[in-house]
Amino acid sequence: MNEKSEAAMKNREYRLYKKLVEEHLTDFLPKVDDKSMSVYDAMEYSLLAGGKRLRPVLLLAACDFSGGDIMSALPYACAVEYIHTYSLIHDDLPAMDNDDLRRGKPTNHKVFGEATAILAGDGLLSSAFEAMCKDLLLYFDDQAKLKSRVRAMYEIAKGSGCKGMIAGQIADIEAEGKQCSKELLDYIHVNKTAALIMSAVKAGAHIGGAKKDKFDDLTVYAENIGLAFQVADDLLDIEGNESEIGKKVNSDTQNDKITYPGLYGVAESRQKLKELTYTATSALSPYFDNAAFFTDIAEELANRTT
């Protein structure tokens, strides 16, 4: 088997999960009145702009790995992507990162204006919880499944809230242009980036019915690939190709953002990326080939160019 065929085999499972998410991505959005269709159009614009769909894919994969039915996890997978997309819309605003491009397309506020972009982000966030709450109503006669889904929703709420993603975002803003310790840098990105990735994996594990040991191992995996994802992202910002990554390079430097290469240097950042990836894959090594999907994803994220 040549190298290209081997890579395609590794990605096949990812593509299947991603295809499932994209086929159902708008299914859980509320139907809106014609008088407010402009905000729906703005929500859909960013939601359907493409991307890796990493968080919903990991949620479905964790559910599958834990023995659950991935179709029953779809509302939560799509909810996580709604939340992730809302965060990108708001991150791109002039008051935040002031970006012009996202996934190779003009950012939401460049197309719809700042006010509509803010409301589109708000709409996606509320739609995520509407989708999950609506799903809960189906399980009032099955206490075990209901509890697992309440736990899943709690993980997603916590990971996207003021003790997760929002905490990382405000710490990131307040650290701009200032001296930053390694501890603060880790705090920013464990929350800003890794928290929602962790939430997705833990939510999927809850819905799948994972036992405690497997749940804990998946949590270690998710925390480390979440942080590794950010280190790789920081490296791409200074070494990446704008046409490949779909956004401007060197934007972190221009915005006085504290980054791993900025604090550690490129060589040490690459070493940290390797260590995080190794810790992530080691956490699932007791499952051997059953965890091959997660191992492949961790390695691909570490070596990504987009």
Claim: this prediction has a pTM higher than 0.85: yes
The per-type count for the chain, helices as H runs and strands as E runs, is 16, 2
Residue 251 pLDDT exceeds 70 = no
Least confident of 6-20, 136-150, 163-177: 6-20
53 in Cβ contact with 18 (< 8 Å): yes
* CA distance readout (Å), 86 to 91, 93, 286: 9, 11, 36
25 in Cβ contact with 48 (< 8 Å): yes
Sole residue written with tokens 């940290």: 272
Least confident of 102-106, 115-119, 205-209: 102-106
44 in Cβ contact with 78 (< 8 Å): no
For 50, list phi and psi in degrees, rounded to 5.
Answer: 105, -155
Residue 258 pLDDT exceeds 80 = yes
Nearest to 176 by CA among 98, 115, 114: 98
Class of domain 10-302: mainly alpha
pLDDT at 245: 55
Quote the CA–CA distance of 74 and 40 in Å, as a whole number.
21
Domain-by-domain residue ranges, the chain? 10-302
Quote the CA–CA distance of 162 and 141 in Å, as a whole number.
33
Residue 71 pLDDT exceeds 60 = yes
pLDDT at 4: 43
* More confident call, 191 vs 305: 191
148 in Cβ contact with 156 (< 8 Å): no
Supply 116's token pair: 């509509």
Least confident of 1-5, 6-10, 46-50, 70-74: 1-5
280 in Cβ contact with 301 (< 8 Å): no
Give the confidence band of 197 by pLDDT, cuts at 50, 70, 90: very high
Residues in the chain: 306
Give the confidence band of 8 by pLDDT, cuts at 50, 70, 90: very low
Residue % of the chain over a pLDDT of 90: 82
* CA distance readout (Å), 245 to 68, 70, 274: 34, 29, 21
* Burial of 91 per CB tally in 10 Å (0-12, 13-18, 19+): middle
Q: What is the mean pLDDT of the chain?
A: 92
Dihedral sign from CA coordinates of 19, 23, 29, 34: positive
Name every residue whose Cβ is closer than 8 Å to that of residue 58 and which is 6 or more positions away in sequence. Answer: 197, 200, 201, 204, 222, 297
Q: Running DSSP on this structure, what letter comes out for residue 139?
A: G
Residue 174 pLDDT exceeds 80 = yes
Q: Strand 101-102 and strand 105-106: pairing?
A: antiparallel
Give the confidence band of 243 by pLDDT, cuts at 50, 70, 90: low
The one-letter code for the residue type at 136 is: L
